Amino acid sequence: MSIVRISATTSEKHTVWSGCDVAKATFDAGLWLPLPEGQSRDLRDIPVRTFPRTREGVREFLAWHDRLIAPTDLLDGSMWTFHAILEHTGRYSEELVVWLLAERPTIRWTLLNPQQAAHFARSLAPRAKTDKTDARALTLYGLERRPACDEPISPERAELRDLSRYRTALVEMRTAEKNRAGESNASPLVRQMQQKHIAQLDREIERIEAKMHQLIRQLPDLQCDAELIDSIYGVGFVTAIAVVRRFRRARQISAFVGLCPRTINSGSSVHPKTRMSKAGEPRLRALLYMCATSALVHNPHMKQVYDRLTAAGKTHMSALGAIMRKLLVLMRALVISGQRYQPDYQPCAIPQKNLRKTTTTTGEKCA
């Protein structure tokens, strides 16, 4: 890791940042110890230690944190806020967060997009890439960028999320098996096993969907939002469950899914075509793609938008991407307004005196 001198600032004095690089069996944790005003520290001097990724390892990590941070209380007698930064590595990092909160509920935590973590670590020009350097980079990311704290979800929502993800995996598996079954095969036994496997996958998918319907009935707010989204022609129940999220602005949810445009302009000669950023959740983009293709057949409003774009010279995929984003923004608008989709809706100008009615209590607009 290259040498980076970091000075103490007033804004860091009440937060202890810890970057955790999580693996299957272990996790490496770095710790930023607060400094008195005017002092500085090299990045390589950030203490790092490896712990087993178990409940006992989490206890060791917290005890290590308490031992290191205890002497700093003499600086001004303040109470420190502990904020952990973890690179999102699926179940491994999520399980570690659950253990951390179980041992110390006051901990703040953030699951960081792996792409953001990789770009930030690369900007430090490290001479080597190890788990310890990654932990130091995550610690410095928290200190410099100060990301917002994530919030835990309820067990029902977590189970619903896992069911939705596993259903997607089973559907992809079934599609691959059907493609193989469609090929010529000289072995009757192989063909018989393929058909049996497809039937088994069909049953498993039906079981998962039945469990999803059962869980959604236990969450009235989520069920209401999902029914509003499901009212859009071309959008099904599975997509409604996956997309239900609350964002303050339409641009935020578009960026989260990766549907916002990515423009590259450099100098007078580098001007490539603007494309979809795809810097977001690929599973949601795949679901929205299927919804957009279905909407072109079953939703006259979306078909009109598609025809207008293609008539203006847009390619099929470009116009389809616009339909995907339009569907996503429409879903958000229905959730915010609490109104079902109206097939016969005719857009019109909103009188100035009624603009206040389109604002929610959180400042969101029903756009």
156-172: pLDDT as tens digits: 888 998 999 899 999 99
Structure tokens of 135? 């932990």
Res 256 pLDDT > 50: yes
pTM above 0.85, yes or no: no
302, 292 contact by CB (below 8 A): yes
- The CA distance from 296 to 325, in Å, is 14
Q: What angle do CA 230, 113, 56 make, to 5 degrees?
A: 105
Does residue 350 have a pLDDT over 70? Answer: no
Angle, CA 139 vertex, CA 136 and CA 143 arms, to 5°: 135
What does the pLDDT average to over 249-266?
Answer: 82
- Give me the percent of the chain exceeding a pLDDT of 70: 85
Tokens at 246, concatenated: 């609350």
CA distance 97 to 61: 13
What confidence category does residue 364 fall into, taking pLDDT thresholds of 50, 70 and 90?
A: very low
Which sign does the torsion angle of CA 317, 323, 328, 329 carry? Answer: positive
Higher pLDDT, residue 304 or 353: 304
pLDDT band at 92 (very low <50, low <70, confident <90, very high): very high
Residue type, 111: L
Q: State in Å, rounded, how far the first CA of the chain is from the last one.
A: 47
Judged against a pLDDT cut of 60, whether residue 357 lies above it is answered with: no
Q: With 80 as the cut, is the pLDDT of residue 3 above it?
A: no
One-letter-per-residue 3-state SS of 124-184: CCCCCCCHHHHHHHHHHHHHHHCCCCCCCCCHHHHHHHHHHHHHHHHHHHHHHHHHHHCCC
- Averaged pLDDT, 318-341: 92
Of residues 344 and 11, more confidently modeled? 344
Q: Compute CA 302 distance to the chain's CA centroid, rounded to the nearest angstrom.
A: 27
Q: State the average pLDDT for the chain.
A: 84
Which structure tokens are listed for 236?
A: 């099904």
pLDDT for 125: 87
Average pLDDT over residues 234-263: 81
Give the span between the Cα atoms of 207 and 212, in whole angstroms: 9
Q: Dihedral angle at the C-alpha atoms of 109, 113, 115, 118, nearest 10 degrees?
A: 10
Instruction: Quick: pLDDT tens for 11-57.
Output: 445 788 999 999 999 999 999 877 666 666 677 889 999 999 999 99
DSSP per residue, 192-245? HHHHHHHHHHHHHHHHHHHHHHHHHTT-HHHHHHHHHHHTSTT--HHHHHHH--
pLDDT tens-digit series, residues 206-235: 999 999 999 999 888 889 999 999 999 989
Taking CA atoms, 196 is separated from 169, 170, 188, 189, 191, in Å, by 18, 15, 12, 11, 9
Structure tokens at 267: 């100098």
